[in-house]
């Protein structure tokens, strides 16, 4: 049976002892260790009554275990719904109800506040790293292998809620093909290989950290130095052991504010990517002056993943997001007349491609 996204991202790594996640404390999760954990989690999902097409809402702090819930959902055919760890219980009530989540996974500290919210939405609630009866403890009772459920390219893999710029947040439905096509395109465009090591300091409830950074690394078979949050000093310390970095503009500003961030620190690096917000031209130029590297900016949305990118082997122009990625069509039209606009005019962006 074929499971489009799981087969492409994870199946090739079964049995591999190559490092996947390298933690700040020195603990290393091999691909096999990660997949064994994910398989046990997939068994728990089914034991709790989740079926193919059901939704799992996840609000937990970043960790290897949190990331394993994503792989577990793909295997079990459960739709993955990662939620911002800063959301309050009141905000979570909307997402749980609106998504139709059958199970909510949270941290122990949020259990008391979220249990009545989950009950009101007729959803189960489990604690990921709780004591005694938590999700992780349940997983230890199950086998370390799992037969992935059949999923086609058109089947939903995940829900991600938008930032709500035009009203209340809306759930963007992302299929196996949407996510896989974008990961393949970016992996090729940015020249990722199994020899790369990515510094991963982004959250994994957002497109940037999950579907861009993580999916690319899985497809390439490379390693990630996996941080719970951005820490400039730790990143500077580890950068000589890495090759790539993805961050939001504030990450780059904070690196530049540290006097220990020098050109010598970045000598082993081949690529710095910025996204999720516009990067100031001043930051772009200061970074190049300090390190000799030009940051690569790209543009995407929750609903589509990445749409455009500055080139890898050509001019990376500050203040721009480059060209449409291969296979993606993009145009700007008048929002009222829907007529195509000329260069320099402001309008509505229309996107067509396998990522939509």
What span, in angstroms and rounded, lies between the C-alpha atoms of 244 and 133? 39
Number of folded domains that form the chain: 2
Q: Is the pLDDT of residue 165 over 70?
A: no
Residues with Cβ within 8 Å of 156's Cβ and at least 6 positions away in sequence, in order, are: 53, 79, 173, 174, 175, 176
Answer yes or no: do 148 and 11 share one domain.
yes
Least Cα distance to 163 among 154, 172, 155 occurs for 172
Answer yes or no: do 163 and 306 share one domain.
no
Q: Within the chain, where are the H helices?
A: 4-9, 31-47, 64-76, 89-99, 111-120, 135-139, 176-189, 207, 215-220, 232-238, 249-256, 281-291
Mean pLDDT of 136-141: 91
**Does residue 277 fall inside a structural domain?**
yes
**Binning pLDDT at 50, 70 and 90, where does residue 343 land?**
confident
Query: Are 244 and 198 in contact, with CB atoms under 8 Å apart?
Result: yes
pTM, full prediction? 0.94
Q: Which domain holds residue 281?
A: 177-324
**Does residue 356 fall inside a structural domain?**
no
What's CA 7's distance to the chain center, in Å?
Answer: 18
**Binning pLDDT at 50, 70 and 90, where does residue 318 land?**
confident
Radius of gyration of the chain, Cα coordinates, nearest whole angstrom: 20
**Does residue 50 fall inside a structural domain?**
yes
**Does residue 352 fall inside a structural domain?**
no
**Does residue 350 fall inside a structural domain?**
no
Angle between the 31-47 and 64-76 helix axes, to the nearest 10 degrees?
60
Answer yes or no: do 151 and 187 share one domain.
no
Answer yes or no: do 14 and 114 share one domain.
yes
Give tens-digit pLDDT for 9-52. 999 999 999 999 999 999 999 999 999 999 999 999 999 999 99
What span, in angstroms and rounded, lies between the C-alpha atoms of 222 and 214? 10
**Does residue 354 fall inside a structural domain?**
no
Last residue of a domain, one of 176, 210, 227: 176
Last residue of a domain, one of 176, 211, 227: 176
Mean pLDDT of 214-236: 97
**Does residue 329 fall inside a structural domain?**
no
Q: Is the pLDDT of residue 233 over 70?
A: yes
Answer yes or no: do 118 and 211 share one domain.
no
Answer yes or no: do 165 and 186 share one domain.
no
């Amino acid at each position: 049976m074929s499971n489009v996204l799981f087969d492409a991202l994870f199946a090739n790594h079964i049995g591999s002892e190559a490092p996947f996640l390298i933690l700040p404390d020195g603990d290393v999760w091999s691909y096999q260790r990660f997949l064994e954990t994910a398989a046990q989690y997939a068994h728990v999902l089914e034991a709790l009554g989740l079926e193919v097409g059901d939704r799992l809402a996840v609000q937990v702090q970043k960790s290897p275990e949190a990331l394993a819930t994503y792989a577990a959902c793909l295997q079990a055919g459960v739709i993955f719904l990662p939620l911002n760890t800063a959301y309050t219980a009141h905000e979570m009530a909307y997402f749980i109800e609106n998504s139709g989540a059958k199970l909510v996974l949270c941290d122990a500290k949020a259990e008391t506040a979220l249990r009545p919210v989950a009950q009101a939405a007729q959803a189960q609630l489990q604690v990921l790293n709780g004591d005694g009866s938590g999700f992780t403890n349940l997983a230890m009772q199950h086998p370390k292998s799992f037969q992935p459920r059949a999923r086609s390219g058109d089947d939903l893999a995940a829900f991600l809620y938008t930032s709500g710029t035009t009203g209340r947040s809306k759930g963007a439905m992302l299929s196996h093909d949407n996510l896989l096509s974008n990961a393949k395109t970016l992996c090729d465009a940015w020249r990722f290989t199994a020899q790369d090591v990515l510094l991963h300091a982004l959250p994994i409830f957002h497109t940037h950290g999950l579907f861009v950074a993580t999916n690319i690394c899985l497809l390439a078979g490379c390693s990630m130095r996996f941080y719970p949050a951005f820490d400039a000093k730790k990143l500077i310390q580890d950068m000589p052991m890495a090759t790539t970095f993805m961050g939001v503009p504030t990450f780059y500003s904070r690196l530049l504010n540290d006097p220990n961030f020098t050109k010598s620190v970045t000598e082993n690096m081949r690529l710095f990517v910025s996204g999720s917000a516009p990067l100031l031209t001043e930051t772009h130029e200061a970074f190049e002056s300090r390190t000799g590297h030009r940051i690569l900016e790209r543009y995407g949305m929750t609903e589509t993943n990445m749409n455009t990118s500055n080139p890898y082997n050509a001019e990376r122009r500050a203040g721009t997001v480059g060209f449409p990625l291969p296979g993606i069509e993009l145009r700007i039209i008048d929002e009222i007349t829907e007529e195509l606009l000329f260069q320099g005019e402001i309008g509505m962006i229309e996107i067509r491609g396998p990522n939509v």
